[in-house]
Each structure stands twice: as C-alpha cells, then as structure tokens.
Amino acid sequence: MLAASVPGNALLGHFTDRMPINIAVFASSVAAAASCLFFWGFGTHEAVLVVFAILYGLLGLSFSALWFRMIGVIARMSLLPLRTSLTGIEDDPTAPQIIFPIFAFLRGVGNITSGPISDALLKLDTLRGGAGAYGFRNYVSPPLVGCMKLTYRES
C-alpha cells in the first residue's frame, strides 16, 4: 500500500495541475471509498486484497498531495488580502506557513487516535459467525465502517 502511494502522489499532483481542486478531491475520495467497499469489504481472496492495497495506496494514502493546491485556495480566500496597485488582490504570503502545519498536525491526531478507536470498535464483535466476505467477516463491524468513512471524509 505504501509503495503505491509514491506514484499516487505524482498522479494526484498531476490531476490537481490539470483540473479544479474540487473535482480532484471528489474523484480521489469516491475512488478510495469505492476501493474500500468493493475490494476490501467484499474481497474473498488475497488477490483482491492486493488490488485493494494498490488502489487505496494510489488514491487514499496520496490525499496529502492535494494539500498544496488546497492551501493555495485557502490563501486566496484569506480574510486580510494584500492589495497591490498592479494586480488588485494577491495571496496572503503567510497563509501557507500557517495552514500546512495545521493540516499536518490534524493528520497526526487522526493517526494517533485511529488505533484506539478502531480497537474499541473491533471489540464489539457484531458480525461474529455471520456470512460475509473477507473484510466483513474478519475485520469489520458496522461502527468501524462508519468511523472510517467519517474520518476519511473529514481528512
């Protein structure tokens, strides 16, 4: 999964250079969520899980490649834009230096808190002995899926 995130960063960076950021974020989020649902959730063999790892690595783990373009949009929406005589309104040059550490800090908070939350949700054992595919039968409880959707959507 981590090996697939290397070309995924380049792929998403290329997409953000060629299309609006909202389309790139939407496409990345939908594709990563679909790979979780179809390849991990309904996967019955290890080969399907390899496909999941590659797709999620390309699209889900590489989401931070979109940060730079998001920061550019946020900098243009700054509350105190600088006015110049030639261009009208410019980006706030201090915004990226403030926003990027906030993004990185919140990602770290998510990384630290996701382990204990997932552990607590897995202990619920709501699907023990139930019919289902690899991901649902062995690792997933409905609250865990909801938590994963929420945290990925908010990242």
Whether 93 shows a pLDDT value over 60: the answer reads: yes
Over residues 99-112, mean pLDDT: 90
Of the listed ranges 17-21, 69-73, 84-88, the least confidently predicted one is: 84-88
Number of Cβ atoms within 10 Å of the Cβ of 8? 25
Distance set, CA 77 to CA 21, 66, 73, 91, 100 (Å): 14, 17, 6, 8, 15
More confident residue, 65 or 44: 65
The residue ranges of DSSP E strands in the chain, in sequence order, are: 82-84, 88-90
